[in-house]
Chain A
Amino acid sequence: MHELAITEDILRVAVEHAQRAGAQRITAINLVIGDLSSIVDDSVQFYFDFLSPGTLAEGAQLHFERVAARFRCRECGQEFTPQDRDWRCPRCQAVGGEVIAGKEFYVDSIEVE
């Protein structure tokens, strides 16, 4: 549901940067999205197809680079990817950790003509 507001913002960021560069057309928007940021790619695509016609980004490809969640163990410093119901550090078995990846959510770059 919240992807509508988010897609509006993606479009705004891309168009602003393209206009500033004097580009005629945006051919691709490269997004970086962490798995913990609760964004559904298909939903963003759906709203983008609805919002982009008539803008510089009409017809642009959306590329989603997904970043998996990573924890850093607070006991031994080991970095690991938490599994479904298993958040134990593979080295020392401590539960959980500092979230060091997975919350990313930004427009990395755009491709323009």
Chain B
Amino acid sequence: MAEMKVVEKIMAANDQIAEQNRRLLDERGIVTVNLMASPGAGKTSLILCTVEALRGRLRVGAIEGDTASRVDADRVATAGVPVVQINTGGGCHLDAPMVRYALNRLPLDEIDLLLIENVGNLVCPAGFALGEHVNVVIASVPEGDDKPYKYPGMFSVVDAVVINKTDLLPYLDFDMVAFRELIAGLNPEARIFEVSCKTGEGIEAWADWLAGMCS
């Protein structure tokens, strides 16, 4: 019997396809954002607000990931956005092959900014590269200010944190200072955007940040 040293990263197969996706997106000049959040944090609402805020400035496309249904894709399509729905059939995250499938079905020549709505889950989406340029997590005020304690794997890898539903701050015990302190300690490079998809507050700064990456 012999022990053989291997030291090979698991998920190399996914990472390889993610790299191919990234190359395709780079060739087409499409900036791609992986939007991750719990179910109900407002991923689809943020996509709709972003589309409105960028109308006339950038052409937005979307990939909608869900375990089942076309509900989200239909909402986004109504806004005139080219969209592909991926149903993972119970799977808890999108992976690179699913995104490749979607890219083959999107009019890439008509898209400047691609928003990928990952499956509602704060655990495994952080571990699966898709080919994206930017990773964003949306946390919402009703979920509480202690989310980073529970999901450090997610909050430590993202480029930006969007805090949605700030219109509910007066009614809930969400401590924004403590939340920002946790993010700053774990991931000081992450941009933090406070927004309300309900009132539109803060959306402009978020949309400007995205637009800045596309120029």
Contact for B11 among A36, A105, A111, A112, CB less than 8 A? A105
Min CB–CB distance A91 → chain B (angstroms): 14
**Are A106 and B1 in contact, with the CB atoms below 8 A?**
no
Q: Are A13 and B6 closer than 8 Å at their CB atoms?
A: yes
Q: Given contacts A87-B185, A107-B8, A110-B3, is CB(A38)–CB(B153) below 8 Å?
A: yes
Shortest A38–chain B CB gap in Å is 5
Q: Is the interface of B mostly helix, strand, loop or mixed?
A: mixed
- Do A37 and B6 touch (CB < 8 A)? no
Residues on A facing B (Cβ under 8 Å): 1-2, 5-6, 9-10, 12-14, 17-18, 21, 23, 27, 30-31, 36-38, 69, 74, 82, 84-85, 87, 94-97, 99, 103, 105-113
Identify 27 residue pairs between A and B in the complex whose beta-carbon atoms are under 8 Å apart, listed by A's number. Answer: A2-B93, A2-B127, A2-B128, A5-B14, A9-B11, A9-B12, A10-B10, A12-B13, A14-B6, A17-B4, A27-B1, A37-B153, A38-B126, A38-B153, A74-B188, A97-B185, A103-B153, A105-B11, A106-B6, A107-B8, A107-B10, A108-B6, A109-B3, A109-B4, A109-B5, A111-B2, A112-B1
